[in-house]
Amino acid sequence: MRYLPIDNQLFVSNRQRLIALLKPKSMVVVNANDIMPTNADGTMVFRQNNDLFYLTGVDQEETRLVLFPDHPDPKFREVLFLRETSELIEIWEGHKLTKAEAEQVTGITQKQVYWTSQYEQIFGQMVFEAEHVYLNTNEHSRADVAVQTRDARYIDSFRQQYPLHHLERLAPLMHHLRAIKQPQEIALLQTAIDTTDAMFRRLLGFIKPGVWEYEIEAEMMHEFLRNRSRGAAYTPIIASGANACVLHYIDNSAQCQDGDVILLDIGAEYANYNADMTRSVPVNGRFTARQRAVYEEVLRVMNEAKQLLRPGNLWDEYHREVGSVMESELINLRLLDRTDVANQNPDTPLYKKYFMHGTSHFLGLDVHDVGNKYRRMEPGMVFTVEPGIYIRDEKLGIRLENNVLITETGNVDLMANIPIEADAIEELMNN
C-alpha cells in the first residue's frame, strides 16, 4: 500500500469494542469486497470492505475475518483467512501478505491465520458451538445500486448450509462503533485533510480564465498521488459558472470563463480515510460585489452551523436550525421575501429553492460514513458542514465545506488551516 503502516493496536481495539457488543455464544463473519469487472478482462481498482478494514487493517482481496470470543478453544476466538500466494501470483500480481505480515498488520497471531482455501475446514470446527451468527449487509440510507455483493452471496450460502443458526445484523453494531473516531483515525483523517490543503493551495495558483475543468482535475490528482494518496476520495466536482448549480456535476469538461465562480468539491483519500472539502473561487482571482455578497452569506451560515454541531444535539433538530439561519441570509440577499417566509408551509420551506441539500453527513472510511441520525451527537463524531446557495438565473453556485470533529470541550475544525475567507482566497490567487 502507498500509505505508511498503521499501528495494529487500532484494529485490536476495534475488534475488542465490537466483541463487547455481541450476544453470548456469537460469532461474526466479515468478508472482503469483490474485485469488480469492467469489460473484457478488465477490472476496477480494488477497494476493501470498510468494516473488514476497520477490524483488521487488511487491504487485500479474498480475505475473511471470523470472531468467536466464547469459543471453548482459544485458537478459534479470532481467525483470519488470507489468499494464499504462489510464484505465479507473485509474477503476475505482486506480493501478497504472508501470515507473519498479517500478524503485524492485524495483531492476530499468525497461528490463527489460515489460507482462504482452508475456510470450510476451519469454519466447520467453529460454527456448531455458536448460537448467533452476525453477518454484514450494506444498510446505508443512500445505497441504491442493486449489485449482488460477496456479503449477499455469503448470506444465501450460509442459510442453506446452516439453516438452524440465528442470523444477526452486524451493520447496526458497526455503525455504532464507526461513528466514534479513535485518535488514530482522527490522525489518518487529518493526513487526508492536509493533503487536500496542499492540493487546494496548488489550484489557487493555477486557476485562471481559459483553463479547462479537467486541467484543474489533473493538477488535483498530481498533488494527491505524490502524497501517498490513492487519489480522490470521491469523483471530484469541478464546476465553473452554471455547472456549479448542478449538485452532482462530474463531467469536468468545460472551459473556465472570466467572471465566473468555480465550485471545487474535492478531497483526498489516505489509508481508506477521506477528506471532503468544498471551496468556491473566482476564475479571474477577484469576486464581483454580488459574488462576494453571496459568498459571505454562505460563510456565515457555515460558521453558525459549526457552532450547532455539539454533543447532545440531534440530526433533524440541527438541520432545522441551519435552515432557519439560511432563511435569514437569503432574505438579506433579497432572494426570499420575509412575509412569504412567515407564511410558508413548514414542510416545504422556501429556502430549499436555493439550498436543496443537507448541511452535514458523517465522515470517515466512507465519504458519507455510516452512523445513525437518531443517535445524539457525541464526542468523537466527525461531520462535514457544507451549506450552499445556488442561483440558477445568475449561473452562480457557491458551496463551502469543512470537516468538523465534535469534542467534549468544543468543536475542532479539522480544515481550519485551509483558506476560506474571501480576502485570503483573492490574495493567494493574485500572488
Has 165 been annotated as catalytic? no
**Catalytic-residue membership of 41:** yes
Assess contact for 387 and 356: CB atoms under 8 A. no
3-state secondary structure of 179: coil
Do 96 and 87 form a contact (C-beta atoms < 8 A)? no
CA–CA dist 388, 359 (Å, integer): 8
Going by C-alpha positions, the residue among 240, 248, 253 that lies closest to residue 281 is 240
Query: Which is the catalytic residue, given 51, 103, 386, 426?
Result: 386
DSSP assignment string, 342-370: HTS-TTS-GGGGT--S-S--B-SSSSS--
E-assigned strand segments in 108-219: 113-115, 132-135, 166-169
Task: Please name the residues in contact with 95: beta carbons below 8 A apart, sequence gap of 6 or more.
Answer: 85
Q: Which of 34, 276, 329, 366 is catalytic?
A: 276
Tell me which DSSP letter residue 36 carries.
Answer: P
Q: How many CB atoms lie within 10 A of CB 115?
A: 14
Q: Which of 230, 286, 368, 413 is catalytic?
A: 368
Point out the catalytic residue in the list 41, 144, 347, 393: 41
The catalytically annotated residue of 213, 223, 361, 426 is 361
Q: Which of 197, 269, 401, 426 is catalytic?
A: 401
Q: Would you give the distance in Å from CA 379 to the centre of its chain? A: 18
Distance CA 195, CA 188 (A): 11
DSSP category for residue 277: E
Q: Is 265 a catalytic residue?
A: yes
Q: Which of 61, 265, 304, 426 is catalytic?
A: 265
Answer yes or no: 386 catalytic.
Answer: yes
Grid coordinates given for 236: 471530484
Catalytic residue among 87, 120, 144, 248: 248
**390 in catalytic set:** yes
Secondary-structure breakdown of the chain: helix, strand, coil percentages, each rounded to the nearest 5: 40, 20, 45
Cell 510464484 found at: 87
Active site residue 276: yes
Q: Residue 389 burial by CB count (10 A; 0-12/13-18/19+): exposed, middle or buried?
A: buried
- Grid cell 466514534 is found at 180
Residue 364 grid coordinates = 470517515
- For residue 337, indicate whether it is catalytic: no
How distant, in Å, are the alpha carbons of 86, 87, 88, 102, 144 from that of 91? 9, 6, 5, 21, 38
Catalytic entry in 357, 375, 376, 392: 357
Q: Rounded to whole angstroms, how far apart are CA atoms 35 and 15?
A: 25
Q: What are phi and psi of 27, to 5 degrees?
A: -125, 155
Which positions are annotated as active-site residues?
41, 248, 265, 276, 357, 361, 368, 386, 390, 399, 401
